Amino acid sequence: MKRRDFVQYAGMGAGALMMPSLLMGSEIPVEALLDPGMDVVLKKRMADVALNTAKSLGASYADARIGRYLNQFVFTREDKVQNVVNTESFGIGIRVIANGTWGFASTNDVSEKGITKATNQAVAIAKANSKIQKVPVTLAPVASHGEVSWKTPITKDFKEVPVSEKVDLLLSANAAALDNGANYVNSGLFMVNEQKYFASTEGSYIDQDVHRIWPTFGVTAIDRASGKFKSRQALSAPMGMGYEYMDGLASEKLKGPAGLNLYRRSYDMVEDATLAAKQAKEMLSAKSVEAGKYDLVLEPNHLGLTIHESVGHPLELDRVLGYEANYAGTSFATLDKWESKDFKYGSDIVNLVADKVQPGSLGAVGYDDEGVKTKEWDLVRNGVLTNYQAIRDQVHMIGQNESHGCCYAQSWNDVQFQRMPNVSLEAGKEKYSIDDMIKDVEKGIYIAGRGSYSIDQQRYNFQFGGTVFYEIKDGEIVGMLDDVAYQSNTQEFWNSCTKICDESDYRMFGSFFDGKGQPPQVSAVSHGSATTRFNNINVINTGRTI
Amino acid sequence: MAIYTKEEARKIMEKALSFSTADACEINISGSESGNIRYARNTVSTAGHRSNQTLVVQSNFGKKSGTATIDEFDDASLKKVVARAEELAKLSPENPEFMEPLGPQTYDESVTFSEATANITPEFRAEVASSSIEPAVANDTTAAGFFNDSSGFSAMLNSNGLFAYNKTTNSDFTVTMRSNDGTGSGWVTRDYNDISKFDAAEASKVAIDKAVLSRAAKAIEPGKYTVILEPAASVGLLGNMAGAFNARTADEGRSFMSKEGGGTKLGEKIVDERVNVWSDPQNTEVPTATWNGAGQPLKQMKWIENGVVKNLAYSRFWAKEKGVDAVPFPSNFIMQGGDASLEDLIKGTKKGILVTRLWYIRTVDPQTLLYTGLTRDGTFYIENGKIKHPVKNFRFNESPIIMLNNLEALGKQVRIDGNLIPYMKIRDFTFTSLSDAV
């Protein structure tokens, strides 16, 4: 399925844009999701076939990833189920270093014969490309972990929840939206289980079981007379959790400004759809913003995308070094700025942390896709740029000898490379609530949820919209706004950060289909923050008359 | 993987269909082989080869459908996949929008396959990379590029007697050249069904020249400017506009094509009368298959004629609801151009900006088709018919509808991403801020 077809089909807009056809895998009956898959003893034997073959062919390093990727997607609109898709993809990817050069090959023939053939291809590619390789690959050392395993700590496996229960939940949310004035509603549930086995010539055999979930919807209200239409997207976040995320626990809910319902680690889809319909209708007559400078109070499910684009991507070391120059681009955060040890990325209260371990996050795994144990590390401390995101073959280029553990491939069929870990803004140390962010703002806008986003190829200039906008006047929310987008420069923006809520408001935003590389691969990543204020930001009016 | 002939594909699908016990059954079979090479920092970074073959069965009982897929085509596998699809169909909820599979259709011959492309070797791909890297080094620039080629076939057969077959080849090339002082960047893209039309050295030179020319860009104030958009700059906005030609969302009132008070803009003039847009699967420059995934024949179709909306796309379900003929979505996009070369357009411009490409384009307002994004890899100030100097990149906020109403002149057409798009001169294009990005 082409990307555009998928988006038209799912009717959910930008959130689904990076859905690759590959991830669709092969369709299987729902019960087949519960098959245990290949036994770990056999996986080890098959992985050893790859490692031993590679060594016998002269490879100095090899790793093998046996992956079984299970997906279930449910799509509905109004009172109809559009589709229920169950897919499975199974195979092995083999990566080697021969003559100091990488080679990679993959196959879905996970037999001795298939693996031997693919390993030969990987070594042959490495040797062929070594003729034009200028600098041999250098790997940072990694611990030998022996035989270990890791699982996303879930309490409800989506594969054990009947499809009818999922369909009922989506149709209930749709009905709630229609009952509250929506003209149209599309909803969907994306559920992913990566069962991946990693083995390398460094002596690690790692079995991992990773779960992710993303419930989402788009509610549309129409005013036929004026021809105007407005959509309000879900305020859910994709999470590294099981189906328990759909429980809608009261203990995980927060009341936001203007009656907003905000969610931590449990989502109430029916409640959100109810409010979405009311807000979509309200948007039809909301006041059009007056362009100018505003103090922005940004809710975590909005700020996460700004963090993703303006901090996550520019601090990927492969971008900084030029490996992504032809596609996503390079970075303003060049090595000389980092080497100076005083590059002010943000104001003194800005602390940005990378991690692959936060419970419930999309990035959380025990080990990355090259067998490095995951951890947390600083990117920006007290406003100063302190580090990047790097993996085994690049971290030596910044004088470090330990990978950060953020190597990832979207499937067994793709080669692993550096991908963004969770990148989060630490909550403020002083005790501040959301009201504290708003009460001393004279002229401002409160923005919740993700919207339109665009940033240049070196990550200087960006423009962001949002899901809902509220005008702040003299410390009070006074009403809904429309046609809002803010434009800024990454460094100026983060240096205008003046106040951050405390830990009690910390929540996660997530991106389920973040794209990078050629051919492109997706990955899933979370960004935590608490509600944060940025002073004096340029807001434009996006309304047009045609 | 073999590229199956029409007869081989038909034989496998007929075998699968013979196992069907459903009310209706549709079989699709496809296979492809692709190879790629990626380079950066003037050296090769990764290279890969992929092959895929898949057979998809969709079985229906009444309005219930189930789909199953398999990549092995022996009798036992075919029997298994049909049984799985039927089992899934029985368990599925009814789809109220289900449409019976089409009966036999007549298709035009397609011109999408090139033997030369199907025969590309790893050595050819390495040569493509070298043709970029060597001149990059010689010109004090750094190359980062990607070349991908593929060949494949697809075919379908259903229980109502429809049979369709197509084989196709494709190749795509992009390279970014950055000047080694970090102040200039150039880019080029090429795509062809027939690789013999591709010249990697010629394309790489375009990117190198832009990188060298764009060094040390000057900042000028954002605002409304006359622009000359290269086809790579306008294709993204035009492609997004094409997405609005969906009758259903227009009828539902949630599209740019919806009209105040109800109805659609079909038959209304929405852009300058010199704008003509059509699709044509048999255009030899941008050929596509002559049928789509639903088995519908694809023919030449007008979308905008003299600025007027001529057709909207109707899915089979929506056409039935509305009592009209189905109109398949286009498989390519051809916009009428003129005789002027890029040089002619520049020569005729008193003050303006030449834009190589637009990047990171995202919807701002679906109501007005307003998009934002940035210029990238070569943006130049034109004065009195000449390129005067490079300028810093801009962010734009613009609608393709407003853009095509502000049309000044059309130039020659160029193939871009499988479409034919002319150079365009546009007045009052809206740049809203400056970017420091190179």
Residue of B202, B201, B195 lying closest to B34 (CA atoms)? B195
Mean pLDDT of chain B: 96
Residue B88 has pLDDT above 90, yes or no: no
Sequence letter at residue A205:
Y
| Residue A541 clears pLDDT 70, i.e. is over it | yes
Q: Are residues A67 and A132 in the same domain?
A: yes
Q: What is the distance between the alpha carbons of residues A419 and A23, in angstroms, rounded to a whole number?
A: 17
Which residues are bridge partners to A462 per DSSP?
A455, A488
pLDDT, one tens digit per residue, over A157-174 is: 999 999 899 999 999 999
State mean pLDDT over B316-323: 97
* Chain B contact set for A102 (CB, 8 A): 46
In a shared domain, residues A16 and A139: yes
Asked if residues A435 and A396 have their Cβ atoms less than 8 Å apart, the reply is no
Least confident of A445-449, A531-535, B39-43, B377-381: B39-43
User: Would an 8 Å CB–CB cutoff place A291 in contact with chain B?
Assistant: no
Residue A153 C-alpha, separation from nearest chain B C-alpha, in angstroms:
31
Last residue of a domain, one of A283, A304, A330: A283
Give pLDDT tens digits for A316-363: 999 999 999 999 999 999 999 999 999 999 999 999 999 999 999 999
Q: B31 has which bridge partners? A: B53, B153
Distance from CA of A382 to the nearest CA of B (A): 25
The tokens describing B10, both together, are 């038909």
Q: Which residue has the higher pLDDT, A13 or B318?
A: B318
The chain A residue lying nearest B58, using CA atoms, is A27
Torsion of CA B319, B320, B326, B330, to 10 degrees: 50
Q: Is residue A320 part of a domain?
A: yes
**Position B2 confidence tier, pLDDT thresholds 50, 70, 90:** low
Q: Which among A161, A105, A165, A154 has a CA at the least distance from the CA of A129? A: A105
- The reply to whether A367 falls in a domain is yes
Domain co-membership, A363 together with A406: yes
Which pLDDT tens digit goes with each residue over B248-297?
Answer: 999 999 999 999 999 999 999 999 999 999 999 999 999 999 999 999 99
What CATH class is the domain B6-211? alpha beta
Residues A19 and A78 in one domain: yes
Q: Residues B142-152: what's their mean pLDDT?
A: 97
Write the residue in B49, B360, B435 that is nearest to A460 by C-beta. B435
Share of chain B above pLDDT 90, in %: 89
Q: What is the pLDDT of residues A364-389, one digit of tens each?
A: 999 999 999 999 999 999 999 999 99
Domain boundary, last residue among A232, A250, A283 = A283
Q: Which of A283, A298, A325 is the last residue of a domain?
A: A283
A323 contacts in chain B (CB < 8 Å): 40-41, 45, 144
Does A264 share its domain with A329? no
Per-residue burial over A344-355, b if 16 or more Cβ lie within 10 Å, else e, is bbbbebbbbbbb
* Helices then strands, each counted (H, E), chain B: 10, 17
Task: Residue B400: list chain A partners with CB under 8 A.
Answer: none
The residues with which A67 forms a beta bridge, in sequence order, are A91, A196
* CB-closest option in A105, A321, A326 to B146: A326
- Across A177-234, the runs of DSSP E, i.e. the strands, are 184-200, 204-223, 228-233
HSE-CB for B324 with a 13 A CA cutoff: 13
Please tell me whether residues A378 and A232 are part of one structural domain: no
**CA angle, corner B247, sides to B246 and B253, nearest 5?**
100
Give the DSSP letter string of B319-330. Answer: HHHHTS--BPPP
Residue B374: partners with Cβ closer than 8 Å, 6 or more residues away: A454, A456, A457, A461, B358, B359, B360, B393, B394, B395, B396, B435, B437
Q: Is A543 in Cβ contact with B437 (below 8 Å)?
A: no
The structure's pTM equals: 0.94
Tens of pLDDT, residue by residue over B398-434, are 999 999 999 999 999 999 999 999 999 999 999 999 9
Nearest residue on chain B to A130, alpha-carbon basis: B44
Q: Are residues A328 and A205 in the same domain?
A: no
Token pair recorded at residue B405: 């109403």
Alpha helical stretches, state H, B92-159? 115-118, 122-138
Q: How confident is the model at residue A21 (pLDDT cuts 50, 70, 90)?
A: very low
Token pair in block for residue B261? 């008070």
In A, minimum Cα distance to B39 occurs at: A323
Q: What is the dihedral sign for C-alpha B335, B338, B340, B346?
A: negative
* CA–CA distance, A261 with A251 (Å, rounded to integer): 12
A143: left (phi over 0), alpha (psi -120 to 50) or beta: beta
Average pLDDT rounded to a whole number, residues A226-234 = 96
Domain with CATH 3.30.2290.10 in chain B: 6-211
Same domain, A251 and A304: no
Q: How far apart are CA B396 and CA B372, in angstroms?
A: 5
The model's confidence at residue A23, banded by pLDDT at 50, 70 and 90, is very low
Distance CA(B45)–CA(A134), nearest Å, equals 11
Q: Please determine, for residue A302, whether its predicted confidence score (pLDDT) is greater than 80.
A: yes
Check whether A439 has a pLDDT greater than 90: yes
Distance CA A3, CA A12 (A): 12
The confidence score (pLDDT) of residue B53 equals 84
Q: What is the pLDDT of residues A383-414, one digit of tens each?
A: 999 999 999 999 999 999 999 999 999 999 99
Q: CA nearest A307: which of A122, A503, A453, A198?
A: A453
> Quick one: pLDDT at residue B70?
85
The conformation of residue B340, written as its DSSP 8-state character, comes to: B
| A184, A327, A454 ranked by CB distance to B372: nearest | A454
| CA distance to partner chain A, nearest, from residue B268 (Å) | 13
CA angle B40, B235, A319 (to 5 degrees): 25
3-state secondary structure labels for all residues of A515-541 = EECCCCEEEEEEEEECCEEEEEEEEEE
Strands A443-448 and A292-298 come out as parallel
A475 lies in the same domain as A494: yes
pLDDT of residue A1: 24
Do A391 and A278 reside in the same domain of the chain?
no
Tell whether the model's pLDDT for residue A20 goes beyond 60.
no
Q: What is the DSSP string of A7-21?
A: HHHHT-GGGGTT--G
Average pLDDT over residues B117-121: 94
- Mean pLDDT for A465-490 is 98
pLDDT digits (tens, 9 = 90+) for B95-110: 889 999 999 999 999 9
**Closest C-alpha to B177, from A134, A517, A326:** A326
Is residue A8 predicted with pLDDT exceeding 50?
no
The per-residue pLDDT for A453 is 95
pLDDT band at A6 (very low <50, low <70, confident <90, very high): very low
* pLDDT reading at B381 higher than 90: yes
- Tokens 């600025």 correspond to what residue? B307
Cα gap A524→B233, rounded to integer Å = 30
Residue A50 host element (H or E): helix A40-56
Average of per-residue pLDDT values in chain A: 93
Rounded distance between C-alpha atoms, residue A527 and residue A301, angstroms: 9
- pLDDT value of residue A444: 98
**SS3 labels along A328-345:** CCCCCCCHHHHHCCCCEC
Nearest by CB: B87 against A14, A29, A323: A29
pLDDT (0 to 100) of residue A7: 32
What are the structure tokens assigned to A39, written together?
């036994």
Does A188 score more than 70 pLDDT? yes
- Is the per-residue pLDDT at A2 higher than 50? no
| pLDDT over 80 at A53, yes or no | yes
Q: What is the DSSP string of B146-166?
A: EEEEEEEEEEEEETTS-EEEE
Reply yes or no on whether the pLDDT at A35 is more than 90: no
Say yes or no: A120 contacts chain B, CB-CB below 8 A.
no
Task: Report d(CA B353, CA B237) in Å as an integer.
Answer: 17
Q: Is the pLDDT of residue A13 over 90?
A: no
Of B183, B438, B182, B186, residue with least CA distance to A461:
B438
Query: Residue B401 is encoded by which pair of tokens?
Result: 């509808």
d(CA B291, CA B314): 15
* A515-529: pLDDT as tens digits: 999 999 999 999 999
Q: What is the mean pLDDT of residues B112-128?
A: 93
Q: From A374, A237, A366, select the one nearest A307 (Cα to Cα).
A: A237
Q: Is A170 inside any structural domain?
A: yes
Note down the domain range covering A180: 3-283
- Are residues A295 and A535 in contact, defined by beta-carbon separation less than 8 angstroms? yes
Given a cut of 80, whether residue A61 has pLDDT beyond it is yes
The CATH number given to whatever domain includes residue A152 is 3.30.2290.10
> How many structural domains comprise chain A?
2
Interface A–B counts its CB contacts (< 8 A) at 204
Q: Which of A27, A80, A326 sits opposite B175 (nearest CB)?
A: A326
| Ramachandran class of A422: left when φ > 0, alpha when ψ lies in -120 to 50, beta otherwise | beta
pLDDT at A30: 72
Residues of chain A with C-beta less than 8 angstroms from the C-beta of B243: 4, 8
Query: Which ipTM did the prediction report?
Result: 0.93
Taking the C-alpha atoms of residue B209 and residue A247, their distance in angstroms, rounded to an integer, is 58
Supply the DSSP symbol for B214: T
Task: Give me the helix-helix angle, B75-91 and B6-18, nearest 10°.
Answer: 60
Look up residue A32 and give its DSSP letter: G
CA distance B387 to chain A (A): 24
Whether A546 is in a domain gets the answer: no
